[in-house]
């Protein structure tokens, strides 16, 4: 499984935030646990924007994260 930094380096057009990567991984059921310091267990503060999601998911598939 590639690291978040490897995924960020692979995306050519922008630098994705780690919270966007975590949001996409959670949407695909790849998260193993929830952070202990999370403010609201039921929601994300910074979910991945729709205009970045397609490119980020494609990059994550190419590096083997999805």
Domains identified in the chain, total number: 1
Residue 37 included in any domain: no
Output the pTM of the full model: 0.83
Count CA atoms closer than 13 A to 5's CA, side-chain side.
0
What's the domain range around 3? 1-29+46-66
Q: What pLDDT was estimated at residue 51?
A: 94
Residue 54 included in any domain: yes
Q: How far apart are the first and last CA of the chain?
A: 9
Encode pLDDT of 26-66 as tens digits.
899 888 777 777 777 777 788 899 999 999 999 999 998 88
Q: What pLDDT was estimated at residue 36?
A: 78
Q: Which helix or strand (DSSP H or E) is residue 62 part of?
A: helix 50-63
Q: What pLDDT was estimated at residue 46?
A: 84
Higher pLDDT, 37 or 15: 15
Q: What pLDDT was estimated at residue 59?
A: 92
């Amino acid at each position: 499984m590639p690291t978040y930094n490897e995924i960020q380096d692979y995306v050519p057009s922008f630098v994705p935030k780690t919270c966007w990567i975590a949001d996409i991984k959670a949407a695909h059921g790849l998260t193993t646990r929830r952070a202990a310091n999370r403010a609201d267990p039921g929601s994300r503060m910074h979910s991945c924007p729709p205009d970045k999601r397609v490119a980020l998911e494609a990059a994550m598939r190419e590096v083997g994260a999805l």
